[in-house]
């Protein structure tokens, strides 16, 4: 068999070596036919029973979650259950059966295709990838309808009490719930045609610490059942049918990585201090309160980014109440046991699926989103601010405002916070009067107008993902321009350096909460630029800590100053690599 290499998106580090086990998507085998009038209600009942069975399966999975299962798994199963209950899945396909006489599978696929098209219009990459959750839920229902839900082979038994972990799942897509089944078998990695850094399957893979590569367009077609595979999770590369020499090289790398990971585990309680004695704050990015235990386990000093929009998603435009939000914020605050929790206010808007009817923006990324949306919908914003402030009575809370660009936006945001405080005071509701308020620096205009931010705000947080996209005017998930996404572009580095310097001069904290913070190849560069707060996915925290422990600022900073004097991307990239050798 010929060897070949596929390139995709790295989402979970490590190396996996095993044989391919392919999962065929049920949608490919769906039959399309029209149902006679007299049989329509029977077809409706068939779909309703399939929906009910999947509900039951998800509940069973949730009830049987292992004690050591990542918190993300339970949360994502909840999300899938919510999606299943949403009328867009539980009712709209039934209407299609009755109105168009489609069979149940065809009706469900039709509805999912329509929803997927709406999600494709979303500019925000994180929210756009939520389309995959809807498709994964539909896939489970289809498998029940078609009687193909048993998708995994039994474990490979080698001895009386030993199972060889050698199966690599190859699929068009994999749901977090399905990953639970894999976990109990000989499953060591997965490869998918679709997905991105922010997909739930990618997040679960990172939390399970399983090597994975997604966005491997065509992988499920090109790879054959039982092919030998190597997943290089660090590079996002899959090698099919490797030569003996290549196989041995990767086995050596795999063994070295295993030894390194064991060593990392010993750093959980070690303070993040550079060789020259500079203490660094390491924070966690979370999406749900249930992510907090993983952050604590990784030794995070707090939460640097709580993406509150997760509470608003999948509700078909219905906003969560103040009490509902308060309970979630409070849960996170209590779980972090006194460590600060930075809650980002609603980063959602015309490009987000709060209400499908509102998708009218010509260019959603530049339209009514984030703080612009909140200021245009003050009642929604005020409810969220009240809920966050109420949670501040139970521990240290910081409020982070996204996508600010104008002074009046800052002033109006602060005025809304003051109004929320005044209302709570009048109602004799407890909250932290001195809650810190910070700004996301994610638009070039904000980084170029920092004096108006540091004058008004208590802290800054650099959202490097959006900052890079807006600075370079590219969408990194658009495959036609994704190669232009470059964190080391001199313009990007200048904006980051300016923000850190302005914060230091004003005496306020500056953090980086984008992906650059969790990339160990960039840790020394950010340290050299003066960054002292990093916020990242909990799974990345120990690797970054190790890099910090091995860093000497006295040696890094002169080299960083040289990097900042260069405008040549190639020179910058080489110099950043040299930082790793200092």
More confident: 206 or 496? 496
Lowest mean pLDDT among 5-9, 184-188, 235-239, 574-578: 184-188
Question: Known catalytic residue: 513?
Answer: yes
Strand order in the sheet with 228-232: 4-7, 237-240, 228-232, 15-23, 167-171, 187-192, 212-214, 9-12
Weakest-pLDDT range from 218-222, 446-450, 461-465: 218-222
Average pLDDT of the chain, as a whole number = 86
Q: What is the secondary structure of 93-110 as a DSSP string? A: HHHHHHHH-B-HHHHHHH
Exactly one of 80, 172, 513, 537 is catalytic; which is it?
Answer: 513
pLDDT at 402: 96
Label residue 233 by pLDDT band (50, 70, 90).
confident
- In this predicted structure, which of 87-96, 254-263, 296-305, 520-529 has the lowest mean pLDDT? 254-263
- With a CB cutoff of 8 Å and minimum separation 6, the contacts of 109 are 27, 30, 138, 142
Token representation of residue 113: 């295709």
Report the distance separating Cα 458 and Cα 455, nearest Å: 9
Q: What is the per-residue pLDDT for 366?
A: 80
Q: Which of residues 479 and 182 earns the better pLDDT score?
A: 182
List the single range of 159-173, 393-407, 463-477 with lowest mean pLDDT. 159-173
Tokens at residue 459, please? 């802290």
- Euclidean distance between CA atoms 108 and 50, whole angstroms: 11
* % of the chain beyond a pLDDT of 70: 86
The pTM for the full model equals: 0.67
Q: Which residues pair with residue 344 across a beta bridge?
A: 307, 400
Residue 317 clears pLDDT 60, i.e. is over it: yes
CB 61 within 8 A of CB 177: yes
**How far apart, in whole angstroms, are the C-alpha atoms of residue 59 and residue 78?**
9
Q: How high is the pLDDT of residue 549? A: 96
Mean pLDDT of 12-26: 83
pLDDT band at 358 (very low <50, low <70, confident <90, very high): very low
CA distance 354 to 320: 11
d(C-alpha 81, C-alpha 74), whole Å: 11
Alpha-carbon torsion (418, 326, 294, 136), positive or negative: negative
Residues 108 and 138 sit within 8 Å (Cβ to Cβ): yes
The yes-or-no verdict on residue 155 having pLDDT over 60 is no
Lowest mean pLDDT among 383-387, 473-477, 511-515, 557-561: 473-477
CB 118 within 8 A of CB 134: no
Average pLDDT of span 514-534: 94
Please check the confidence at residue 226 and state whether its pLDDT lies above 70.
yes
- Smallest Cα–Cα separation from 35: which of 91, 90, 104? 104
Nearest C-alpha neighbor of 184 from the set 291, 61, 79: 61
Report how far residue 371's alpha carbon sits from residue 377's, in angstroms, rounded to the nearest whole number: 10
User: Is there a contact between 140 and 54 (Cβ–Cβ < 8 Å)?
Assistant: yes
Q: What is the 3-state secondary structure (H, E, C) of 5-19?
A: EEECEEEECCEEEEE
- The per-residue pLDDT for 359 is 47
- 3-class SS shares of the chain: helix, strand, coil, % to 5: 55, 15, 35
pLDDT at residue 352 greater than cutoff 90:
no
User: Which two structure tokens, joined as six digits, stand for 370?
Assistant: 């984030």
Max mean pLDDT among 37-41, 165-169, 258-262, 484-488 falls in 37-41
Q: Is 200 a catalytic residue?
A: yes
* pLDDT (0 to 100) of residue 356: 44
Q: What local confidence, expressed as pLDDT, does residue 28 receive?
A: 63
d(C-alpha 433, C-alpha 271), whole Å? 30
- Predicted confidence at residue 181, as pLDDT, reads 64
Maximal CA-CA distance, the chain: 81
pLDDT category at 207 given cuts 50, 70, 90 is: low
**What per-residue confidence (pLDDT) applies to 72?**
63
Helix (H, G, I), strand (E, B) or coil at 46: helix
Write down the pLDDT at residue 40.
Answer: 92
3-state secondary structure of 360: coil
Q: How many residues appear in the chain?
A: 582
pLDDT at 479 over 70: no
- For residues 99 and 37, what is the distance between their CA atoms, to the nearest angstrom? 10
pLDDT confidence tier of residue 43, bands split at 50, 70 and 90 = very high
Is the model's pLDDT at 542 over the cut of 90?
Answer: yes
Q: Contact at 8 Å (CB) between 306 and 284?
A: no
Please state, in angstroms and rounded to a whole number, the distance separating the CA atoms of residues 186 and 94.
38
The predicted pLDDT at position 277 comes to 96
Under a CB-based contact definition with an 8 Å cutoff, are residues 332 and 388 in contact? no
Per-residue pLDDT, 350 = 46
Q: Which of 80, 200, 292, 537 is catalytic?
A: 200
Per-residue pLDDT, 278: 97
- Determine the Cα–Cα distance for residues 42 and 26; give it in Å rounded to an integer: 22
- Give the tens place of pLDDT for each residue, 49-98: 999 999 988 888 777 776 656 656 777 787 788 888 888 888 999 999 99
Per the model's pLDDT, the better-predicted residue between 79 and 397 turns out to be 397
The pLDDT, as a whole number, for residue 375 is 95
């Amino acid at each position: 068999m010929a060897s070949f290499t596929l390139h995709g998106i790295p989402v979970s580090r490590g190396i996996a070596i095993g044989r391919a086990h392919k999962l065929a998507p049920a949608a490919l085998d769906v039959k399309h036919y029209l149902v006679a009038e007299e049989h329509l209600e029977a077809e409706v009942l068939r779909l309703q029973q399939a929906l009910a069975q999947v509900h039951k399966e998800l509940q069973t999975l949730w009830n049987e979650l292992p004690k050591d299962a990542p918190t993300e798994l339970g949360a994502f199963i909840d999300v899938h259950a919510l999606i299943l209950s949403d009328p867009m899945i539980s009712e709209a396909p039934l209407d299609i059966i009755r109105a168009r006489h489609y069979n149940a599978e065809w009706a469900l696929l039709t509805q999912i295709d329509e929803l997927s098209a709406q999600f494709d219009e979303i500019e925000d990459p994180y929210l756009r990838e939520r389309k995959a959750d809807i498709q994964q839920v539909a896939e489970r229902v289809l498998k029940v309808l078609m009687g193909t839900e048993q998708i995994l082979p039994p474990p490979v038994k080698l001895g009386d009490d030993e199972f060889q972990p050698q199966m690599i799942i190859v699929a068009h897509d994999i749901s977090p719930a399905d990953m639970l089944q894999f976990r109990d078998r000989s499953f060591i990695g997965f490869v998918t045609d679709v997905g991105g850094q922010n997909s739930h399957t990618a997040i679960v893979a990172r939390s399970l610490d399983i090597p994975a590569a997604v966005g491997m367009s065509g992988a499920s077609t090109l790879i054959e059942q039982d092919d030998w595979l190597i997943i290089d999770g660090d590079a996002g590369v899959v090698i099919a049918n490797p030569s003996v020499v290549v196989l041995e090289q990767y086995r050596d790398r795999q063994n070295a990585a295993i030894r390194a990971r064991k060593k990392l585990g010993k750093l959980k309680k070690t303070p993040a201090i550079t060789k020259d004695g500079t203490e660094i704050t390491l924070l966690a990015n979370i999406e749900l309160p249930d992510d907090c235990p993983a952050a604590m386990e990784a030794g995070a000093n707090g939460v640097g980014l709580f993406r509150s929009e997760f509470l608003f998603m999948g509700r078909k435009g219905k906003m969560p109440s103040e009490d509902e939000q308060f309970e979630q914020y409070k849960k996170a605050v209590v779980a972090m046991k006194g460590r600060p929790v930075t809650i980002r206010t609603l980063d959602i808007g015309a490009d987000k699926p709060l209400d499908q009817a509102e998708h009218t923006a010509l260019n959603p990324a530049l339209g009514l989103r984030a703080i612009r949306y909140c200021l245009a919908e003050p009642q929604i914003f005020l409810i969220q601010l009240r809920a966050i402030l109420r949670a501040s009575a139970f521990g240290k809370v910081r409020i982070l405002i996204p996508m600010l660009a104008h002074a009046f936006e800052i002033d109006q945001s602060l005025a809304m916070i003051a109004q929320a405080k005044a209302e709570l005071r009048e109602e004799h509701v407890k909250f932290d009067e001195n809650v810190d308020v910070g700004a996301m620096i994610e638009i070039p205009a904000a980084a170029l107008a920092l004096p108006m931010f540091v004058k008004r705000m208590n802290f800054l947080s650099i959202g490097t993902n959006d900052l890079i996209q807006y600075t370079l005017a590219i969408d990194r998930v658009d495959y036609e321009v994704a190669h232009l996404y470059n964190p080391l572009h001199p313009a990007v580095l200048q904006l980051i350096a300016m923000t850190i310097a302005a914060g230091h001069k004003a005496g306020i904290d500056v953090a980086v909460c984008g992906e650059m913070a969790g990339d160990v190849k960039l840790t020394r560069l950010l340290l050299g630029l003066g960054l002292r707060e990093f916020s990242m996915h909990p799974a990345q925290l120990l690797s970054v800590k190790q890099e910090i422990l091995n860093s000497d600022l006295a040696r890094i900073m002169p080299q960083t100053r040289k990097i900042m004097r260069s405008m040549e991307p190639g020179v910058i990239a080489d110099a950043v690599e040299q930082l790793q050798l200092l």
